[in-house]
Amino acid sequence: MGSLETTTPSSPLFNPLDLDDFRTQAHKAVDFIADYYASIESRPVLPRVEPGYLRKTLLPQIPPTKPTPFESILSEIETHIMPGMTHWLSPNFFAYFPATVSTAGFLGEMLSSSFNSVGFNWLASPAATELESIVMDWLASLLKLPHQFTFSGSGGGVLQGTTSEAILCTLVAARERAIEKSSSVTIQKLVVYGSDQTHSTFPKACKIAGISPSNIRTIPTSVDTEFALSPELLKRQMEADVAAGLVPLYLCATVGTTSSNAVDPLGGLADVARDYGVWVHVDAAYAGSACICPEFRQYLDGVEKADSLSLSPHKWLLTYLDCCCLWVRNRDSLISALATDPEYLKNRPSESGSVVDYKDWQVGLGRRFRALRLWMVLKMHGVTNLQSHIRSDVGLAMLFERLVRGDRQFEVVVPRRFGLVCFRLKGVGEGLNRRVLEEVNRTGTVYMTHTVVGGEYVMRFAVGATLTEERHVVAAWEIIRGKADELLMGEMDSL
What is the footprint of a second copy within residues 117-146 (CB under 8 A)?
117-118, 122-128, 130-131, 133-135, 137-139, 141-142
Q: Which of 384, 427, 492, 493 binds a second copy (CB under 8 A)?
A: 384
Give dist(CA 18, CA 362) in Å, integer.
Answer: 35
Stretch that binds a second copy, among 22-30, 265-273, 327-335, 478-486 (CB under 8 A): 22-30
Contact 97, 462 (CB under 8 A): yes
Q: Which H or E run contains 283?
A: strand 279-283
DSSP annotation of 239 reads: H
At residue 366, what is the residue type? G
Region 253-272 residues binding a second copy, contact defined as CB under 8 A: 258-259
Region 272-311 residues binding a second copy, contact defined as CB under 8 A: none
Minimal distance, residue 269 CB to a second copy, in Å: 21
Region 164-203 residues binding a second copy, contact defined as CB under 8 A: 164-165, 168, 172, 175, 186-188, 199-201, 203
Q: Is 54 in the site for a second copy (CB under 8 A)?
A: yes
Q: Which is nearer to a second copy, 7 or 240 (CB)?
A: 7
Minimal distance, residue 50 CB to a second copy, in Å: 9
Give dist(CA 114, CA 22) in Å, integer.
Answer: 11
Give backbone dihedrals phi and psi of 475, rounded to 5 degrees, phi first: -65, -40
Q: Is 335 in the site for a second copy (CB under 8 A)?
A: no
For 128, 351, 360, 464, the CA distances from 344, given in Å and listed in that order, are: 20, 13, 15, 45
Give dist(CA 121, CA 56) in Å, integer.
Answer: 44
Rounded (5°) CA angle 445-451-456 = 120
Q: Which is nearer to a second copy, 297 or 391 (CB)?
A: 391
Q: Is 363 in the site for a second copy (CB under 8 A)?
A: yes
Minimal distance, residue 476 CB to a second copy, in Å: 13
Contact 87, 45 (CB under 8 A): yes
Stretch that binds a second copy, among 218-226, 313-321, 403-411, 486-494 (CB under 8 A): 313-321
Give dist(CA 194, CA 282) in Å, integer.
Answer: 11
Minimal distance, residue 318 CB to a second copy, in Å: 5
Q: Is 392 in the site for a second copy (CB under 8 A)?
A: yes
Q: Which is nearer to a second copy, 141 or 267 (CB)?
A: 141
Q: Is 45 in the site for a second copy (CB under 8 A)?
A: no
Minimal distance, residue 268 CB to a second copy, in Å: 25
Burial class of residue 134 (count of CB atoms within 10 Å of its CB; 0-12, 13-18, 19+): middle
Minimal distance, residue 232 CB to a second copy, in Å: 25
Break the chain down into helix, strand, coil percent, rounded to 5.
Answer: 50, 15, 35
Q: Which of 255, 300, 334, 355 binds a second copy (CB under 8 A)?
A: 355
Stretch that binds a second copy, among 217-225, 266-274, 408-416, 468-476 (CB under 8 A): 468-476
| Cα 293 from chain centroid (whole Å) | 19
- Judged by CB under 8 A, the number of residues near a second copy is 175
Rounded (5°) CA angle 250-251-252 = 125
Q: Which of 145, 178, 287, 378 binds a second copy (CB under 8 A)?
A: 378
Give dist(CA 386, CA 279) in Å, integer.
Answer: 31
Q: Is 153 in the site for a second copy (CB under 8 A)?
A: no
The contact pattern for a second copy, residues 207-226, with x = CB under 8 A and - = no contact, is: xxxxx---------------
Q: Which is nearer to a second copy, 264 or 393 (CB)?
A: 393
Minimal distance, residue 27 CB to a second copy, in Å: 5
